[in-house]
Structure 1
Amino acid sequence: MQTLHSTFIPPMINGVNASQVYLPKLENRPHSLFDFLCEKFPHITPTEWQQRFQDQLIFDEQGQILTLHSMYLENTHIYYYRFLAHEITVPFKEEILFENEHFIAIDKPHFLTISPTGKYLQETLLVRLKKQTQNPNLTPIHRLDRETAGLVLFSKCPDTRGIYQQLFAERQVQKLYHAIAPFHADLKFPQTVQLRMEKGHPFYTMQVVTGEVNSLTEIDLIEHNFKWAKYQLKPETGKQHQLRVHLNHLNIPIKNDPFYPEVSHKDDADFNQPLQLLAKELAFFDPISQQKMHFISKKELTLA
């Protein structure tokens, strides 16, 4: 059986793009599409799939709405939409600082995840922006942790997305961060921290190990009140949690860091004590406009 060429382009619904699933030829053919989906995605309950069918959120290649009783048609594709029955509202707003035909520069608040993942869908920066701009092609060009605030760029146009992604991949974008951390009079700045970092335990953390250096950050002191200090951080590499690990290595962990030096899980609805890390500036030469681009977050970290 040959796959039909689909001309159906699933619309964006409430800021969410459709996910696509291929239905392969199987030795034990499922009785129905519903049975296949329940088996393929065991982390999604049958009740959730029933709700998606009931809400008419599952389509075939021609855009026909599928039902709980739809047959499993091998060598075809289907489209479905994610939803979350319960999602915690993040009570902080993002701000668009700059926009042209190719990308948007956003000032992201603390506690807002960049893209849908796990328990976050509508309360993510990507879905919020898609709903605001009605542009289904928006894609983050780089990443910030959920806990980190500040500058992040989103591509608007698939044709030029790779150009900007390459700038970040080739370290042609100058990044500057601010952080609040303890003040130690015996530490001298500016200084460069060079470490080898690898995955830690738990798996979502990083650890310092011996071996060839793979992370480098230039750190300087901006101001202090003898207890806390504001530091300027210029990462030359982009390892996960690099800035958090580097300051922790100096025995000055970032204020309110839930992972370093120790993992401390907070309630997802607790928006007190945000991580005091801010992506303050981004600068790069735009190969399309042939202009120097320089963005500065409006947010400020304070010692108080």
Structure 2
Amino acid sequence: MARFGKRILPPRDGITAARLRAPGGSQTHAARDLPVPATVREWLSDIVIPTTMGREQAFGAEPLAPEYFTGRGELTDQTGRRVRLDDAVIPGGFYVFHKPVPYEDAIPFEIDVVHEDADLLVVDKPPFLASTPNGVFVRECVVTRMRVARGEDDIVAIHRLDRVTGGLLALSRRPETRGAYQTLFQRREIEKTYRALAHLPAGWSPGDALPLGLEDGEERERRSRLRKIDGERPVREIPGTPNARTSIRLLRAFPHGGGWAGEFSLVPHTGRTHQLRVHMSGLGMPLLGDPVYPRDVDPDPYDFSHTLQLLAERLAFDDPLTGERREFATRLTLDASRS
């Protein structure tokens, strides 16, 4: 949510307030041409608010009662004034409120703080814990947990890791310096290295060729065009100009499950969704424990019996405030027996 919402209505229990925009007004937005209701009560009576409702239902199907907004929801207008139901609607105005957030079963893994200073927290995110509020996980994510544990509502993730991926995640603690660090990620000026365990092609044995001509210690590149389809979890590799690039280095091969697996160092040079997982699967070497590639098994998010063997192993960058070289390494390890 934008800083506007945080400024006039602080997070509750580590969860950022939601934002609504009223119909009408002179600025361009989706509801500008809709009629402006006479009162806040009339407006809110017809609004269906997306809300997490557990694993089976991701969106609320019924409007919240208007009384919720001015009670527990603490509806506040863009001037910072608490709203009453009989108030006139501000045409095109912004309003913020606290959504109802259902109970969530705890994800039974802890966050390890690798580094902290006045501006940054670098943590080891465990697999199965989301980086940020996302879908059914609002309370059970790194940002919400860290806000609550530290009593710091300004903590935000500077980048993200897939929920099933473990390893290093950088968090900003102060809005005043956040933009400088976010710019590093936007400009791809952060060196990110991942470690992974992956199946080697069926029937492979030592001495056989591997995709891309991979050999122990040799680095090769995978380039392809990736496309995310709305409503689908897997990302597709499609024909066309490459928009995703990954460096791949085989570190070692080892027997696994009646076949062979490899340990790899992976460096993403672009930041596409699921990029490393898609590239490895597309080479016929899917990551051990991957619930989506090459086949989406639609696992229960509370099934922790199989762990994706992918770690964000290293972050390195020149600090934008001091010029100091910063390098961080994960304390987590891979384990083929957990795949």
The bucket for the TM-score relative to the shorter chain is 0.7 to 0.9
**1:180-237 CA distance string (max 9 Å, x none):** 1113443233242322222255633222223322222222223332223221111222
- Residues 1:74 and 2:81 aligned together: no
- Contact 2:226–2:243 (Cα < 8 Å) also in 1: no
Cα RMSD, aligned residues only = 2.5
Shift of 1:87: 2.1
**1:148-183 CA distance string (max 9 Å, x none):** 111111112222222212212222211111111113
- Read off the aligned partner of 2:226 and give its amino acid letter: E
Q: TM-score, normalised by structure 2?
A: 0.78
Structure 1 stretches of 4+ moved >6 Å: none
| Residue pairs, 1:209-248, within 5 angstroms | 209-227=238-256, 228-248=261-281
Q: Secondary structure at the match of 1:46?
A: coil
The separation in 2 between residues aligned to 1:77 and 1:267, in whole angstroms, is: 37
Q: Which residue of 2 aligns with 1:18?
A: 17
Equivalent residues, number: 297
Residue of structure 2 aligned with 1:208, choices 234, 237, 240: 237
Structure 1: gaps spanning 5 or more residues? 1-5
* Change beyond 3 A, Cα 1:272–1:72: farther
Q: TM-score, normalised by structure 1?
A: 0.87
- Residues 1:39 and 2:68 aligned together: no
Q: Which residue of 1 aligns with 2:284?
A: 251
Q: Which residue of 1 aligns with 2:310?
A: 277
Q: Which residue of 1 aligns with 2:227?
A: 199
Shift of 1:299: 0.2
* Change beyond 3 A, Cα 1:85–1:72: farther
Identity of aligned residues (%): 28
Q: Secondary structure at the match of 2:8?
A: coil
Structure 2: gaps spanning 5 or more residues? 25-32, 51-59
Q: Which residue of 2 aligns with 1:268?
A: 301
- Contact 1:279–1:297 (Cα < 8 Å) also in 2: yes
- Contact 2:287–2:310 (Cα < 8 Å) also in 1: yes
| Residue pairs, 1:126-137, within 5 angstroms | 126-137=143-154
Shift of 1:253: 0.3
Shift of 1:254: 0.6
* Change beyond 3 A, Cα 1:165–1:42: closer
Q: Secondary structure at the match of 2:296?
A: coil
* Change beyond 3 A, Cα 1:50–1:261: farther
| Residue pairs, 1:176-195, within 5 angstroms | 176-183=193-200, 184=204, 185=206, 186=208, 187=210, 188-189=214-215, 190-195=218-223
Shift of 1:61: 4.7
Shift of 1:65: 4.7
- Contact 1:90–1:111 (Cα < 8 Å) also in 2: yes
- Contact 1:84–1:119 (Cα < 8 Å) also in 2: no
* Change beyond 3 A, Cα 1:38–1:140: farther
* Change beyond 3 A, Cα 1:28–1:102: same
- Contact 1:225–1:303 (Cα < 8 Å) also in 2: no
* Change beyond 3 A, Cα 1:49–1:264: farther
Q: Which residue of 2 aligns with 1:3?
A: none
- Read off the aligned partner of 2:126 and give its amino acid letter: P
Shift of 1:104: 1.1
Shift of 1:63: 5.2
- Read off the aligned partner of 1:214 and give its amino acid letter: N
**1:25-64 CA distance string (max 9 Å, x none):** 4764436434423534354432476545442532345655
The separation in 2 between residues aligned to 1:88 and 1:161, in whole angstroms, is: 31
| Residue pairs, 1:113-124, within 5 angstroms | 113-124=130-141
The separation in 1 between residues aligned to 2:179 and 2:219, in whole angstroms, is: 34
* Change beyond 3 A, Cα 1:99–1:252: same
The separation in 2 between residues aligned to 1:216 and 1:27, in whole angstroms, is: 44
* Change beyond 3 A, Cα 1:294–1:49: farther
The separation in 1 between residues aligned to 2:42 and 2:106, in whole angstroms, is: 33
Q: Secondary structure at the match of 1:105?
A: strand
Shift of 1:243: 0.6
The separation in 2 between residues aligned to 1:274 and 1:27, in whole angstroms, is: 48
